[in-house]
Every structure is written in C-alpha cells, then in structure tokens.
Amino acid sequence: MAEKLAYTYVIVGGGIAGVTCAETLALLRPTDSTDRILLLTESALVKAVTNVVPLGKILNRFDVEEKSTGELAAANNIDVLLDQLDSIASEDHLVRTTAGRCISYRYLCLCTGARPNIIDKAKGNANVIGIRDTESVEEFRKRIHTATRLVVVGNGGIASELVYEVDGLEEVHWAIKDPYISSTFVDSGAASFFRERLNTKASVDKEKTIYKRMRYTEQNEESASAGVTKRGAALGPDWHRAFDIQKHGEAGTRNANKVTIHHSVEVEDIQEVTSGLQVRLTDGTTIECDFVVSATGVVPATSWTGGCDRTFKLGPDGGLFVNWSMETSLGDVYAAGDVCYAGWEHAPHWFQMRLWTQARQMGAMAARSMAAKRAGEEIYQDFCFEMFNHVTTLFGYQVVLLGRYNGQGLNDKYEVLLRMTPGLEYIKFVLVDGRLQGALLVGETGLEETCENLILNQLDLSPYGEDLLDPNIDIEDYFD
C-alpha cells in the first residue's frame, strides 16, 4: 500500500529556487503554527544561498553552497524527502512520487529547474556532455584527465568560464554562433576586453584558490539499482572555484594561448572516429577531439512521468506560465526558477533570464505569496522585479548587469557611453533621452549602487553629457 503523507506546503526541487522557497516559508511561518513544509528533492545534496553581500538596494552578490538534506532540514525545521515527482493530481491536491508515496498538499511549488539543451547533432553520443549541475562537472573532471583535445559549444556564462578556467589540454576549440564571445551577457566591446584576458592568460598567475568548503558526496547505489535517473540542481556563481578543472601532471601542455575560437558557426555533424570524435562546423572546419561540451542553454523541465490531471498554461519558451505572485494556471500550484515563464507585465527595466539570481528572487516571491494566501493577507510584488540585476564572474572579472544593459527591447533607439581601462575595467551606460536605462560594469568599479539609483529614479543626465564617465569625476559621490 502506498505511503500517505500530508503537508501544508510541498516544494519540488532542491535547487536555488526550491531551497530559497523552503527557507523563506520557514522564516514566515508563525512560531505557534502547525503548518508543515516538505522539500521533495531527487538529490541528497541541495543548493543553498550563503554569504549574501548587498551591492545596492536590489543587487546582491552571493555564494551557492551544497548542503546535505539533513543539514537543511535541521536548520529550518522542515522535512526533506529524497524522491522524484511522478504525477500531480491538482484537483485533489495530491502528488505522487516514483517510490509510490502519495502526498497531499495545501500549496504546491514546482521548482524543477531546467535541463541542458544538448546540441541535436550529438544524437545521444556519450562523448558529448552538458555542463549544468555538480554531477556533470564531476563527469567533466574525470574526462579531462585522459583527454588532450576539447571542443566547447556555446557562448553563455558556463562556456565562457569553462574555456578560461580549464587548463592542461593541448587543444581547446570554442565554437560560437555569434561574431564575438560571451554574447549572452556582453556586447562586442566588452568581448574584446575579455578576449585580451583570454589571450594573455599565460602570463597571469592562474594558481586559483579552490574553495575549501565542506564537501558532501552521496551514495548512488540505491537509485542506480532502481533505474531512476536523477537531475541535480543548477550550478551557482563561481562554480569553477569549487572544482579543480585543470589537468595536472603534464608539464608543458598548458593551453594558455591555444584556445581557438570559431566565430559565427554551428555544429553541422559529429562522427565517431578511431581517435575519438570528429566535429564538422558549418564553415567547413573539421576538428578532431576527445569529447565535446555542449553549453548551449537550457530547456524548462516541465515533464513528469505521470504528468498532471489538468493542462498547465505554458509560455512561448515552454516554461510554466506564472503571474506576478508566481502562481500557475492551476489553483494553489506555484512555480519558481528556471521551470517557469514570467507571464506578468514586466517593469520597464526588468526581463527574464534563467539565472541563479532570478531563481533566488522567484523562490522567495513564491514563498511570500503562498504564506500570504494561507494567512488571508494581501501582498505586493517584491521590489527586486523593478529592475534586472545580476552579478557573475567572467574571465576573472566581476561582471554586474543592471537594467537593459545591452539595450534589450529598446529597438536600437539609445545611445551608449563607454569607459574602458584595459585589464582593469569596462563600463557601459545605455541611455535614452538622457536617462539611464541599463549598465554593464566589468571589474571593481564601485558604481553598482549609483547605477541602480540612476536607473530607478530616471534622473535626466543630459546636462552632464560625456563627462558622466570622465575618470576624473567621481560620479559615485556626485550622485550620492
């Protein structure tokens, strides 16, 4: 007979969105409440946000650490169940798991994340791997110990960090579909700035510090024997500093200046050959390598084995359509993080990108909405959704993205102010009618809070003209 459980809140997913949702619910739960919280996760390791450093009103820099489910449960007085979602009976407020458990809920939050969008030319080849979670990074580490040639496909954050951080290989080929590198985050000017760092990394002392944190491992025997395929949670910021992804023990094979970038191409075909794989690009180039890393984005993980009794409304990208309170089209069912599509009317300076920053913000918002509905209270959308904001690290530099930092949605009707100090900083302001709409800050600029305020306040900066980024003028103090 199936095991039956009952909870007030059930959160599915042990990634940043799910864990943030569970932790926020635990904080909002009244001390005398009997409400029970369950986090349903496929992995014994979950991702928790730590070391939050405010850089402005909205902008925060933080670390993402792995925690054991036991540690998370004890710290927040919640229950954590190691199992996999099988089906949802929303009419009856029930979920079923692959282990046969039947769990009733008052409110359900789906934080199942996204899966790597492996290039279709891979055709299931085992030597084409995605980089998305801790498990896939561990697989990558194993492979580079016996490899000498690598092809990386993709132009986002993970691909950029991987190409810069990996070392010890004879050949690294980076295939990108755009005319310049890291186009997901930056413009061609910043790409040239980064390219200089990539070209000169041989002269940089890259003895990077590996984070010395408590590391957990999990026993896979039980799930493997049950034939269950687990999906780990997404990587967080600075993920490469938690892993040593350099090949050791072979002096003279450092690939410092041997990253070959193939611009404006896609993979046309992948064939197995005696020496490994043969990759053919759309420009006719043929590359032989030991394995391929596909870092070409993600697809919302909205499919469960048993499905749902009612059809979810989906967004154009396949994500679960949610309103500003993170509620889906099904009553009492919420969603947060990479699995959802932000279906509300966006603030002028906000747009959705599947990043750990927004996963954290959405998880907290879903928790606030569920708790308010439970208490019969009215709430408003969190202020963090007023402006796009994200902090990451690319090619060893801190990168801050604010508002419409690349002129997204402005139909090329904007002007750009630039300041670049080679090897030190790259600053870009995007203005419309003299008002700041977005900013890209590379390096330790100290302008994060100033730019936040200028975007939110929409102060007319026309009188300052190009002096706005004059290095002899401290605009941080000027607009304080």
pLDDT in tens, 339-397: 999 999 999 999 999 999 999 999 999 999 999 999 999 999 999 999 999 999 898 89
In a domain, 326, yes or no: yes
Same domain assignment for residues 107 and 168: no
Position 43 scores a pLDDT of 86
Q: Say which amino acid occupies 195.
A: R
Same domain assignment for residues 109 and 121: no
Q: Which of 326, 353, 385 is the last residue of a domain?
A: 385
Position 225 scores a pLDDT of 38
Determine the distance from the C-alpha atom of residue 42 to the mean position of all C-alpha atoms in its chain, rounded to a whole number: 19
Tell me if 172 sits within 8 A of 259, measured CB to CB: yes
In a domain, 219, yes or no: no
Same domain assignment for residues 317 and 379: yes
In a domain, 390, yes or no: no
| CATH assignment at residue 146 | 3.50.50.60
Per-residue confidence in pLDDT tens, the chain, 480 aa: 568 999 999 999 999 999 999 999 999 998 888 999 999 999 888 888 989 999 988 999 998 888 889 999 998 899 999 999 999 999 999 999 999 999 999 999 999 998 888 888 788 888 898 887 667 778 888 888 888 899 999 998 888 888 888 888 888 999 999 999 998 888 888 998 988 888 776 555 445 444 444 444 455 444 443 444 555 555 555 544 545 455 555 544 444 447 899 999 999 999 999 888 999 999 999 999 999 999 888 889 988 878 899 999 999 999 999 999 999 999 999 999 999 999 999 999 999 999 999 999 999 999 999 999 999 999 999 999 999 999 998 988 999 999 999 999 898 889 999 999 988 999 999 999 999 999 999 999 999 999 999 999 999 998 888 888 887 777 766 665
| CATH assignment at residue 400 | 3.30.390.30
In a domain, 244, yes or no: yes
In a domain, 217, yes or no: no
- Which residues form the domain of 127? 117-205+230-297
| CA distance linking residue 208 with residue 205, whole number of Å | 8
In a domain, 224, yes or no: no
In a domain, 151, yes or no: yes
Q: Which of 264, 282, 297 is the last residue of a domain?
A: 297
In a domain, 86, yes or no: yes
User: Angle formed by the axes of helices 356-375 and 16-28, to 10°?
Assistant: 30
pLDDT tens-place string over residues 414-426: 999 999 998 899 9
Same domain assignment for residues 32 and 134: no
Same domain assignment for residues 279 and 131: yes
Same domain assignment for residues 331 and 402: no
Same domain assignment for residues 89 and 136: no
Q: Which of 297, 313, 334 is the last residue of a domain?
A: 297
Q: Read off the tokens for 43.
A: 């992995």
Same domain assignment for residues 324 and 381: yes
Position 213 scores a pLDDT of 42
Same domain assignment for residues 153 and 194: yes
| Count of structural domains, the chain | 3
Same domain assignment for residues 292 and 337: no
Same domain assignment for residues 274 and 343: no
Same domain assignment for residues 33 and 102: yes
Position 210 scores a pLDDT of 43
Position 209 scores a pLDDT of 46
